[in-house]
Amino acid sequence: MTGSQNSMPMSPFSQSCYASNMEMSSTLAVLMEAERLRAAGADLVDLGAGEPDFPTPANVKQAAERAIEENFTRYTATGGAVSLKRAILEMMERDFGAIYNLSELLVTAGGKQAIFNAMASLLNPGDEVLIPRPYWVTFPEITKFLRAVPVFIDTEERGFVLDADMVRDSITPRTKLLILNSPNNPTGRVIPPDEFRRIVEAAAERGVLVISDECYLQFVYPPGRPFTAGQLPDDLRRSVMVCGSFSKAYAMTGWRVGFALGREDWIQPMLKIQSHSTSNVTSISQRAAEEAAQGQQDSLKFMLQEYQKRRDWLIPALNRIQGIECLNPEGAFYAFPKITGLLGETVRNSTDFSRLLLEQALVVVTPGSSFGAEDYVRISYANSLEAIQRGVERISEAAAALNSRAA
Ligand SMILES: Cc1ncc(COP(=O)(O)O)c(C=O)c1O
C-alpha cells in the first residue's frame, strides 16, 4: 500500500460563496440547548416558539384526508392548482377588499419561499436592500445569499414603527428594494395604514420596489384592523409584492403553503425560479389550504381572541417587573420587552439573559440579538395562558435575583 492510499483523502467539499455568505439562524443555539434540557426531562416553559400552539383546524385536516383518498397526489401546476388560486383571490377580496387576478398570484412553500423568490428574481449583486431593524432574521440572510447589501433602518427610537421619512433618508441610487413586515416579528408593532401608504409612496417616488411580508396579516387586535398592501391604490400597488402565508393564521406551519401577490412581470420570473427548484407546493397541502381559505373561519376567530387575552395579561405583567419595559404590541403573537435595566457585569446582553433564563429559570425566550436588537428579548405568547403565567413568574424571580445582586 502506498502512503497516499493510507492517508484520508482530502474532502472535495468546501462551502460555496453563496452558502458561506449566510449564517445559521442564531436563534438555533438557544433552541438546541432548550431541546437538550427538554430531552433530559426539564420542566421548561417555552416562550420561544414562532408558531401557533393550536392544532390545525379539523375541517382543514379533513380536506387533506379527502385529497389523499381522491388521489389528488400528483404534480399540480407549478404556480398552484387553479382551485386554490381562486380560493386565495376570493379570501383576499372577502376579508380585505384586495382584488387581484390569477396571473398576479403564485402559490409557494410557505411565506418564506414567496419572499425568497421575490428577492431572487429582483436583486443583483451589490443592490441595496432596506431592512427595518429589528428584523426577521431571514431578510438579511437572503439578501447576503444573493450578494446584495442589507442596509438597516433603526426603528427603536420610534417605538419600532417605521415611517416614510426614515425610508426617504435611507434611499441611495443603489437601493432596489424595501422590506416591510407589519404586523412585525419580533416586535408585534403594526404600521398604521396611512403611514404604510406614505412609506410605499416614498419608495415608489425613487423607483424602489417593496416586499410586504404579511405572514401575520390577520393578527391585528381590536381596535386595530388588518391592512394589506393589496388595499393600496393601483399605482402604488404596482411597486409591492405581497407575501402571505397560511402558516400562522390557520395554524398550518408544517403544511408549507404561502403565496405571493403582485405585478405579473415580477410574478413570472418567480414562477421560473420555482419551476426549476421546488416545483408545486405539496398537492395535499394545497387542498388543505383551499379549505382554510374557503371554509368556516370560526377557528381563526377563536385563535385570535385567545391570543388577545394572553397579550392583555402578559404586557402589564412584564411591565410590573423591575428592569423590564414593554411596549404594547398591536399584532402578531410576540412581546418584545427591553431588558436594559437588568444588564450589568454578569448578564451583559440579551444572549446572556436568555441563557440565564433557560439554565436557571427553565424559561425559553429568544435573544433580541437574533433580530439585531441587543437590549431586548422576544417572548412568544403562542402558548397557553397558564404556561405564560408560569413563565412570567419565573422571569420575575430571575429579575429580582439580578436586581438584588446589583443593589
Ligand atoms: C416575519 C415572518 N415572515 C415569514 C415567515 C415565514 O413563515 P412560513 O414560511 O411558515 O409561511 C415567518 C415565520 O416565522 C415570519 O416570522
241 & 255 share domain: yes
The answer to whether residue 113 is domain-embedded is: yes
Please work out whether the CB of residue 181 comes within 6 Å of at least one atom of ligand 1.
yes
Q: pLDDT of the chain along its 407 residues, tens only?
A: 444 455 667 788 888 888 888 877 666 677 788 889 989 999 999 999 889 999 999 999 999 999 999 999 999 999 999 999 999 999 999 999 999 999 999 999 999 999 999 999 999 999 999 999 999 999 999 999 999 999 999 999 999 999 999 999 999 999 999 999 999 999 999 999 999 999 999 999 999 999 999 999 999 999 999 999 999 999 999 999 999 999 999 999 999 999 999 999 999 999 999 999 999 999 999 999 999 999 999 999 999 999 999 999 999 999 999 999 999 999 999 999 999 999 998 899 999 999 999 999 999 999 999 999 999 999 999 999 999 999 999 999 999 999 988 77
pLDDT at 7: 67
Count of domains observed in the chain: 2
User: Does the beta carbon of 132 lie inside 6 Å of ligand 1?
Assistant: no
Picking from 272, 294, 316, the residue at the C-terminal end of a domain is 294
Distance 49 CA to ligand 1 centre (A): 12
Same domain, 86 and 204: yes
* Cβ-contact 317, 168 below 8 angstroms: no
| Within a domain: 5 | no
Whose CA is closest to 368, among 388, 382, 357, 354? 354
For ligand 1, the distance from its centroid to the CA atom of residue 259, given in whole angstroms, is 12
Q: Which of 267, 294, 321 is the last residue of a domain?
A: 294
CA distances from 117 to 13, 17, 78, 267 (A): 27, 19, 13, 9
**Residue 38 resides in a domain:** yes
194 closest CA partner among 154, 155, 225, 151? 225
Contact 128, 136 (CB under 8 A): no
Do 35 and 160 reside in the same domain of the chain?
A: no
Q: Which DSSP symbol is given to 23?
A: -
Q: Are 274 and 308 within one domain?
A: no
* Residues 95 and 27 grouped into a single domain: no
Q: Which atom of ligand 1 is nearest to the CA of 111?
A: 11
Same domain, 24 and 49: yes
Question: Beta-strand (E) ranges in 147-247?
Answer: 149-154, 175-181, 209-213, 240-245
* Residue 258 Cβ contacting ligand 1 at under 6 Å: yes
Assign 67 to helix, strand or coil.
helix
pLDDT of residue 129: 98
Q: Which grid cell sits at 135? A: 428584523
Q: Quick check: is 6 in a domain?
A: no
**351 CB near ligand 1 (under 6 Å):** no
Residue 156 shares a structural domain with residue 139:
yes
Q: Can you give the CATH number for the domain in which 322 is found? A: 3.90.1150.10
Same domain membership, residue 281 and residue 259: yes
- What's the pTM value of the predicted model, to 2 decimals? 0.94
Atom 14, ligand 1: residue with shortest CA distance: 50
Q: Which of 115, 119, 185 is the pocket-test mutation for ligand 1 (most atoms within 8 Å of CB)? A: 185
What is the Å distance from ligand 1's center to 396 Cα? Answer: 30
Pairing of strands 45-46, 258-261: unpaired
Locate the DSSP E strands across 235-284.
240-245, 258-261
Classify residue 220 by its DSSP letter.
B
The reply to whether 229 and 306 lie within a common domain is no
Q: What is the CATH number of the domain that holds 260?
A: 3.40.640.10
Q: Does residue 11 sit within a domain?
A: no
Does the CB atom of residue 50 touch ligand 1 within 6 A? Answer: yes
Structure confidence at residue 29 (pLDDT): 72
Q: Which residues contact 387 (CB under 8 A, 6 or more apart)?
A: 45, 46, 47
* Number of other CB atoms surrounding residue 53 within 10 Å: 18
Give the Cα separation of 1 and 6 in Å (integer). Answer: 7
Closest CA to 51 of 211, 222, 248, 203: 248
Give the single-character DSSP code of 252.
Answer: -
Residue 133 neighbours by CB under 8 Å, 6+ apart: 152, 153, 154, 155, 156, 371, 372, 373
Q: What would the DSSP string read from start to end of 239-285?
A: TEEEEEESTTTTT-TTT--EEEE--HHHHHHHHHHHHTTT-S--HHH
102 domain-assigned: yes
For ligand 1, the distance from its centroid to the CA atom of residue 215, given in whole angstroms, is 6
CA separation for the pair 245, 202 (Å, rounded): 26
Strand 175-181 vs strand 128-133: parallel, antiparallel, or unpaired? Answer: parallel
Is residue 4 one of the residues assigned to a domain? no
**pLDDT value at residue 2:** 47
Whether residues 79 and 131 share a domain: the answer is yes
Considering only CA atoms, which of 156, 235, 155, 157 is closest in space to residue 200?
235
Asked if residue 241 lies in contact with residue 261, where contact means CB atoms within 8 angstroms, the answer is yes
Q: Which of 294, 321, 351 lies at the terminal end of a domain, its last residue?
A: 294
Q: Which of 402, 314, 387 is nearest to 47 (CA)?
A: 387
Pairwise CA distance, residues 295 & 168, whole Å: 42
Give the domain range for residue 187: 71-294
399 CA from centroid of ligand 1 (Å): 31
337 and 395 part of one domain: yes
The pLDDT of residue 32 is 83
State phi, psi for 106 to the nearest 5 degrees: -130, 130
On whether residue 273 sits in a domain, the answer given is yes
- Comparing CA positions, the residue from 136, 55, 123 lying closest to residue 269 is 123
CA distance 227 to 133: 21
Question: Is residue 311 located within the same domain as residue 284?
Answer: no
Distance 189 CA to ligand 1 centre (A): 16
Q: Is the Cβ–Cβ distance between 155 and 133 less than 8 Å?
A: yes
Ligand 1 centroid – CA 137 distance (Å): 10
**Helix, strand or coil, per DSSP, at residue 273:** helix
Residue 11 has what DSSP assignment? P
